[in-house]
Amino acid sequence: MRSRRAFKSAGALGLLALSATACSGQASRLGMPVPISDQAERMLKLWQGSWIAALAVGVVVWGLIIWAVLFHRKRSDDLPPQVRYNMPIEILYTAVPFVIIGVLFYFTARDENYVEKTSANPAVTVDVTGFQWSWQFDYKEKDAAGQEKTVASVVGTPVAPNAPTGAKPVMTIPSGKTIRVRLHSNDVIHSFWVPALLYKKDIMPGPKTNEFEFTANKTGTYEGRCAELCGVDHSRMLFQLRVVTPEQYAKFIADSKAKAAGGVQ
């Protein structure tokens, strides 16, 4: 009787802990930052879904362990009934892991296809070049002849993490538009990482140009960094992603064009 009561209160405590976690937004993201793009939101859902699946498996396993501990303790020196080969149970615990893997695989493949999808005509194309040890952002536009040209360019220098605002190179992009990022390197492998995008991708030197697209849905300034140890000043390879309204972005490009035109004279 006493053990049954202990079992019940342990269960109630577990439920309480679970619901307390679900109430706060930070905890419900399970360690992930606030997502700022459509793709990041999808990835957060995959992450949360995987945790729910893992927790469900955990609850069954913990329940079985607690049940065995409470109700099948050693009570005498008699050997318990000796059984072997319970076919239904053996089939069950062979089949169930396959079902779990199948479900996780399905959602992972579905969301990976969504996140890695590229479109024929992205609204903005940025050539991102990682170099030892900073970043260059080149904004590309097609002219009337369909020829690509650079309409704005930002080149950074290595900075300390506590550098004053403005020291880090800034990648400016409009919200609500499809952004194509093309990754280039002339020296070693770097990795483009903005935690708020819940995404990072390696930058390969040589002919391979990695690409990805995203649509930001929250304006603001977000930290970015290199996520591939690329040399002595790797930790100073910092930048910022600034998501602005389409009007502010148009002004940013117009200002850069005006500046470039002024420089030619």
> Burial, 255: exposed, middle or buried (Cβ in 10 Å; 0-12, 13-18, 19+)?
exposed
Q: What are the two backbone dihedrals, phi and then psi, of residue 55, each rounded to the nearest 5 degrees?
A: -65, -40
Task: Examine residue 183 and tell whether it contacts Cu ion (CB under 5 A).
Answer: no
Instruction: Calculate ∠ Cα 123-126-127, nearest 5°.
Output: 150
Residues numbered 232-261 forming contacts with Cu ion, rule: CB under 5 A: 237
**Closest distance to Cu ion from the beta carbon of 168 (Å):** 14
∠ Cα 171 232 190 (to 5°)? 45
- Closest to Cu ion by CB, 10 vs 170, is 170
Mark the segment that binds Cu ion (CB under 5 A) among 13-21, 71-79, 164-172, 190-198: 190-198
Q: Taking the CB of residue 111, how many other CB atoms lie within 10 A of it? A: 17
Q: How far is the CB of 231 from Cu ion (least distance, A)?
A: 7
Is residue 246 within 8 Å of residue 174, measured between CB atoms?
yes
Q: Is 226 in the site for Cu ion (CB under 5 A)?
A: yes
**Which of the ranges 28-36, 116-124, 188-196, 206-214 carries the binding residues for Cu ion, by CB under 5 A?**
188-196
Q: 51 Cβ partners below 8 Å, 6+ apart?
A: 30
Binding region for Cu ion (CB under 5 A) out of 114-122, 158-166, 206-214, 224-232: 224-232
- DSSP strand E in the chain: where? 124-131, 134-142, 148-155, 170-174, 178-185, 190-194, 199-203, 210-215, 220-226, 238-244
190 binds Cu ion (CB under 5 A): yes
Distance CA 174, CA 172 (A): 7
**Rule CB under 5 A: is residue 227 a binding residue for Cu ion?**
no
Q: Which of 36, 173, 230, 238 binds Cu ion (CB under 5 A)?
A: 230
Q: In the bound complex, what is the minimum distance in angstroms from residue 250's beta carbon to Cu ion?
A: 31
We find the least distance from the C-beta atom of residue 137 to Cu ion, in angstroms, to be 15
Q: Residue 230 CB, nearest distance to Cu ion (Å)?
A: 3
Taking the complex as a whole, the smallest distance from the CB of residue 24 to Cu ion amounts, in Å, to: 35
Q: Which stretch binds Cu ion (CB under 5 A): 11-19, 97-105, 158-166, 185-193?
A: 185-193
List interacting residues with Cu ion (CB under 5 A): 190, 226, 230, 237
